[in-house]
A = this chain, B = another copy of it.
Amino acid sequence: MNVNGKHYRSIWLHTANPGIVQVIDQRKLPHEFIVEDLKTVSDVFTAIKDMHVRGAGLIGATGGFGMYLAALTAAGQLDSIDYFKAQAEFLKSARPTAVNLAFAVDRQLEIIRRFTASSTLIERVKKSALDIADEDANACRDIGKHGVKLIRDLEAKKSGNTINILTHCNAGWLAFVDYGSATAPIYAAHAAGIDIHVWVDETRPRNQGARLTAWELEQEGVPYTVITDNAGGHLMQRGLVDLVLVGSDRTTYTGDVANKIGTYLKALAAMDNNIPVYAALPSSSFDWNIRDGLTDIPIETRDSDEVRYVQGLSNNSIDRVLITTPTAAVSNYAFDVTPSRLITGLITERGICAADETSIKLLFPEMQQKHG
């Protein structure tokens, strides 16, 4: 997507030196746009652990490139599967609950097992890293292709008036390799000249909406307005929202959606005001083992200081301010689960389906037998 008019993905190989992986250090956005060089597995570990990169798709792709750097920097250990296994474990430990990270790293390890003795090993691992990234970008592109139809339908219904879409957190291209999940239909609609406007929830505590989604939309020239997380319900009551479009961190095969904390509240307000709610997700975010999201999806709690402090720009440098007393009791749940009854549909790379087991398995028949 566009940054200052130039095309970027969220991760790529250095053009002149393919031994360097480049990412955007997202911690300083929107205040500073910094491209970071990753040259070692340790660089990749830090970038994932300290959230220079975040988002399911991007973490997976970064893990894939991490194993490529492991091969590049293996020196005498290129034929040691134990070396690669240790590197894989190390990378996975950067975000132990990130399913995409484990998946990408293990996929690379499988290539490495098959081609340990081959002189083409490094090239194969490199190609596989690029494939993982491309697959993520392509899935998001296809989510956009399918999702834009929903926006076209609204366009017809609203006969030329602006279509207002509300989104929560950042399910944008910064969270994937390109396009994003929830943002893909938005970017596709904007590219098609449809008159859209996006309400961006700031998304406390980490403000990914205010910091990242707003910045993405601004760079692409998509009209948007940042609002507090409290405001969405009021906007819906006043007829100012036509569609709620969010991502999903984990989706049960029955259609329950675990996403950034606060998603459930917006889905309730949308239901109360007859506004459709769609979760956009690459099918890699389906959990084919969980029937009941409310009881069976574990909800991570994060550092209390994320609630006590807010980070931002002060006197041209990134600082944080304390909003409570230093010792205030605080809790910080990272996700909530929106039950399928509040979700109008799911937008996947294969198409759109209702948020129920039958519809999901019609779209993914190869999963049918798993819970047939």
- Interface positions of A (Cβ within 8 A of B): 30-31, 202-205, 207, 210-211, 214-215, 218, 223-235, 237, 260-262, 264-266, 268-269, 272, 294, 299, 307-314, 319-325, 328-333, 335-337
Whether the Cβ atoms of A310 and B299 lie closer than 8 Å is: no
Assembled-state Cα–Cα distance A346/B325 (Å): 32
Contact A211–B323 (Cβ < 8 Å): yes
Could you say which of B203, B211, B214, B234 contacts A230, with CB atoms under 8 Å apart? Answer: B203
Structural contact, A237 and B324, CB atoms closer than 8 A: no
Asked if A227 meets B330 with Cβ closer than 8 Å, knowing A214-B325, A234-B261, A237-B294, the reply is: yes
8 pairs, CB–CB < 8 Å, chain A vs chain B: A203-B230, A211-B323, A227-B332, A229-B230, A231-B336, A265-B265, A310-B310, A311-B323
| B307 in contact with A311 (CB, 8 Å) | no
From the candidates B218, B266, B307, name the one contacting A226 in the complex (CB within 8 A): B307
Report whether A214 and B328 are in contact in the complex, using a CB–CB cutoff of 8 Å.
yes
Question: Closest residue to A294 on the B side, CB-wise?
Answer: B237
Q: Looking at A31, A203, A215, A324, which has the most chain B CB atoms within 10 Å of its CB?
A: A324
A310 to B351, CA, bound (A): 40
- Inter-subunit contact B30/A325 (CB<8 Å): yes
- For A207, list chain B residues within 8 Å (CB): 323
Interface contact A228-B215, CB-CB below 8 Å: no
B226 touches A322 (CB 8 A): no
How far is the CB of A52 from the nearest CB of chain B, in Å? 19
Q: In the complex, how many angstroms separate the beta carbon of A195 from the nearest chain B beta carbon?
A: 16
In the assembled complex, how far is the CB of residue A338 from the closest CB belonging to chain B, in whole angstroms?
9
Least CB distance from A241 to B in Å reads: 12
The residue in chain B whose Cβ has the minimal distance to the Cβ of A336 is: B234
Is the Cβ of B223 less than 8 Å from the Cβ of A329? yes
**A323-B233 contact given A205-B228, A226-B329, A307-B227, CB 8 Å threshold:** no
Q: How far is the CA of A329 from the CA of B211 in the complex (A)?
A: 12
CB-nearest residue of chain B relative to A264? B233
Question: Which 4 A-B pairs give the minimum distances between C-beta atoms?
Answer: A230-B262, A312-B321, A234-B336, A310-B310
How far apart sit A180 and B75, CA to CA, in the bound complex (Å)? 69
Contact present for B264 and A231 (CB under 8 Å): no
A234 to B262, CA, bound (A): 8
